[in-house]
Amino acid sequence: MDFVAAFSAALKTLDHNGQQQLPLVTLVDCAAQLGLQSVAVSYVRQFEFADTPLQQAHRISLFHGLGYSDEAFRLSYAALDRFPNDIYLTQQLGEMQMCTGFTDDGMKNFSAFSSRSFYEEHRGGMRDNGWNFNRLWEGEAIEGKRFLIIPL
């Protein structure tokens, strides 16, 4: 990939219309590769994210992707104060915690995205197709259990 060309194209697009998410993500990804995080962060700060959990999680991930971990954590905790127990914000926090060495807390928070409660709330239709959410492992003792391991 030509990061310089993609970075330039994203800048041009954002300078014309700064409220487009795809060029913003492209800008952040390229900036991280090119060492131009300080250029991209100003665009992320100017972007008007909707005040929804998913949009706030996206905003946080962009700051984290640029290496602005302190700002990402501050935004994450503020968003979780507004949207307690939101699955997307919790998962985003867990990912950041794992990346910054807080593995135990990170695994706990990240795994919320694949928890029974997540599937019940967000994927209830799967139950109608035969899924048994109670079979999802959530840290229970595995002694005496059988597992099927499928290599990918």
Calpha distance 64→81 (Å, rounded): 19
- Report pLDDT for 97: 96
pLDDT at 17 > cutoff 90: no
Residue 27's pLDDT is what?
A: 94
pTM of the predicted structure, to 2 decimals:
0.77
Distance in angstroms between the alpha carbons of the first and the last residue of the chain = 27
118: its two tokens: 């997540």
Helix 53-65 to helix 87-99 angle (10° resolution) is 10
User: What pLDDT sits at residue 88?
Assistant: 87
Return the pLDDT at 118. 78
pLDDT per residue as tens digits for the range 87-140:
889 999 999 999 999 999 998 888 877 778 878 877 778 888 888 888 777 778
